[in-house]
Amino acid sequence: MSPFKISSKVKKKIGKINRKDDNLNYSLQPFVTKWLRDHPPKLSYKLKPPEMSFETWKQQVKKLILKKIPTLEPLPFNKQKFKMVGETTSNGIKFIQFSLMTIPGLRVPGIMCIPENIEHKVPACICIHGHGQNIYNTVGMKKSKNKEYFGYELAKLGLITLSFDWIGSGVRESFKNKYLYFLQDEGQRSNWLRFIGLDMLGLRITEVQTLISFLENHDDVDPNRLGIIGHSGGGTLSLFATVFDDRIKVCATSGYLSTWDHSILAMYHCGCNYSADLRKYLELYDVYASLAPLPLAITIGEKDKIFPYKGTKISIPIITEAYQETNHPENLLIHVQEEGHRFSGEKIYPFILSYI
């Protein structure tokens, strides 16, 4: 006899679970919120003992991040198998589209913007777009909803820029449904990598390190004056790549300053945001603080809905204190613009130029 033939009266007699009962919780989100409140990050700058030097704390943070986020060995310049796709010149900028191998069996597409009439080696900057954008947005060939034109705009200011599509984005993938891309496909790719012992952020960092090696060997690039800039997901990658690679002399992020508790752990975010168990030990402001005294520029919108300003207000004084402790407060720029989740180069560009 099928159990589903039990009378509906039976269900009524056993009562109904009330998930709205204030004293009883059945849902995961309130549980996580309480867990985060009861378990502050163990290695946070806020909890650093007064007797511990900043450098000791910084090295502990870096060691932890390098251990927790698995990366692969970046390919050296002589094994990258550079392939020219095409080039042209417009508005005083030479655009070179190319691809090269960053990881054995995996190529990255990119566009370099090189100012015309270069007479000596100049600084270079790796430019990283956010979710839903691609290299053509960054270099100004396609309209960017978040005004992410830094690949082109920095080149107009005299820098060589290299924009690329990170793993799972742009021309590297084909998504039939853009909405499903955010909800499913990008997260699914992150899950694939976790399941085989790799990490999406870690592979993207590996690609950045390979691209840095490429720039170091470019005839027109000063290898000692390299920067990185990114918006949103590109800001995430810029920040963590800087932790991994000391060749980066200035880091600039946009649309990526809040707390993890107020952003990626409070609402839906793309799967690549979640690496290992970092929140057990750190908050986002700790990763930023660990860069001190490296030149760091951050821009964030007061009306940013996915990296809420409520978390930003908590983060700013902590990062500021870290730079003050290293006696280089001038190496930190935090620009709060009045709009939402969009890029602004108003303050960031002069800052980058002053350091590389």
Q: Give the model confidence (pLDDT) of 208-244 as tens digits.
A: 999 999 999 999 999 999 999 999 999 999 999 999 9
Q: Is residue 21, in this structure, part of any structural domain at all?
A: no
Q: Return the pLDDT at 42.
A: 97
| Residue type at position 351 | F
Q: Is residue 288, in this structure, part of any structural domain at all?
A: yes
Q: Is residue 157, in this structure, part of any structural domain at all?
A: yes
User: Which tens digit of pLDDT belongs to each residue from 270-301?
Assistant: 888 999 999 999 999 999 999 999 999 999 99
Q: What is the distance between the alpha carbons of residues 218 and 159, in angstroms, rounded to a whole number?
A: 13
CA-to-CA dists, residue 170 to 38, 120, 164, 186, angstroms: 40, 33, 9, 12
Q: Is the pLDDT of residue 302 over 60?
A: yes
CA-to-CA dists, residue 32 to 37, 129, 207, 256, 292, angstroms: 9, 30, 33, 22, 31
Indicate whether this model's pTM tops 0.85.
yes
Between 171 and 356, the more confident residue is 356
Q: Return the pLDDT at 170.
A: 84
* End-to-end Cα distance, the chain: 78
For residue 104, whether the previous peptide bond is cis, meaning omega lies within 30 degrees of 0, is no
Q: Is residue 14, in this structure, part of any structural domain at all?
A: no
Q: Is residue 305, in this structure, part of any structural domain at all?
A: yes
Q: What is the CATH number of the domain that holds 270?
A: 3.40.50.1820
Nearest CA among 340, 343, 341, 321 for reference residue 332: 321
Q: Is residue 251, in this structure, part of any structural domain at all?
A: yes
Least confident of 1-15, 33-47, 140-154: 1-15
Q: Is residue 177, in this structure, part of any structural domain at all?
A: yes
Q: Is the pLDDT of residue 174 over 70?
A: no
Q: Is residue 39, in this structure, part of any structural domain at all?
A: no
> How many domains are there within the chain?
1
Mean pLDDT of 59-73: 97
Q: What is the distance between the alpha carbons of residues 71 and 84, in angstroms, rounded to a whole number?
A: 27
Tokens describing residue 240: 């963590």
Q: Is the pLDDT of residue 265 over 90?
A: yes
Structural domain that includes position 300: 66-355
Tokens describing residue 47: 């909890």
Return the percentage of the chain with pLDDT > 90, whole number.
82
Q: pLDDT band for position 175 (50/70/90)?
A: low
